[in-house]
Chain A
Amino acid sequence: MELNYIGLTAGLTAFLGIWFGHLAVRKIDFISPSIWVPAILAFMLGFALEAAAIYSANLYVTTSLGILGMTLLWDAIEFPRQHRRVQSGRAPANPTNPRHARILAENSSATTIDWLKRNPTGHMLSADELSQMGKYSA
């Protein structure tokens, strides 16, 4: 029986594309003074990969480019969403980034704490526990 490697190609590309985008959006938002420049670049790159996918004759190449391009288009949307997460305090702000410094000055909910960098406890966290984690220290 002949094995069909297109699913493996699609699965690997999807996993790596999501992983890369997940890390890159957070990292770039953290250090970039602008959120629109990386968003527009991700959009253009995603669009270019989709165009390349359409003009590629090789099945494995078109599959990888099609999936990778779509994850980049998703990343373009995630940049402004990540900016709003920083505003709301759900993602940590970087005080040395001028854009984040402005968010910290203008939004009382913004924080430098990374809330997700911890292990689950199995119970809903009380106000006391949250304040010990520094929620009200800002």
Chain B
Amino acid sequence: MNFFGLFIGIATLLVIGLGFIWVIRSEYYLGYLWWPYFIGMGVLFILASLFVPSLWGSALVGVIGASFIWGSTEFKEQAVRAEIGWYPFNPGPKPDPPFVEAIKKLPAPHL
């Protein structure tokens, strides 16, 4: 019997659960235009996982990376949800990400 997969599956659920929270918070304070930086962070995490020698460490870093990439695809819809009034809308100014004009020309991903 090998419980590594079961336990890493449970850990994945917890990481995804955290994703709901940080996507809502990040969209509220930063705005959805930061999505490319979350993809970048996710890719860096997954690349870093290749160099983590421990099984648990590598798997967790990989799953956290995947969750960053998934979360980045949720930003646009979260922004719309807040504008409709399903979630709190932050009326204050949001910080522009670096290269904001270039980002605005890109279609924000959603899956």
Specify the main secondary structure of chain B where it touches its partner.
helix
Q: CB distance A64 to B65 under 8 Å?
A: no
Q: Are A14 and B16 in contact (CB under 8 A)?
A: yes
Chain B's interface size range is: 35 or more
Q: Which of A44-102 contact B (CB under 8 A)?
A: 50, 53-57, 59, 61-71, 74, 90
Contact with B along A5-26 (1 / 0, CB 8 A): 1111111101100110011000
Q: In the complex the two chains form, is A63's CB within 8 Å of B50's CB?
A: no
Set of chain A residues within 8 Å of B63, measured between Cβ atoms: 7, 10-11, 14, 67
Secondary structure of the A side of the interface?
Answer: helix
Q: Which residues of B lie under 8 Å from residue A64 when comparing CB positions?
A: 5
Interface residue? A125 (CB, 8 A): yes
Query: How many A residues, CB 8 Å from partner?
Result: 47
Question: Does A1 make an interface contact (CB < 8 A)?
Answer: yes
Given known A-B contacts A54-B6, A62-B2, A66-B7, A120 and B85 have beta carbons under 8 A apart: no
User: B81 — which chain A residues lie within 8 A by C-beta?
Assistant: 116
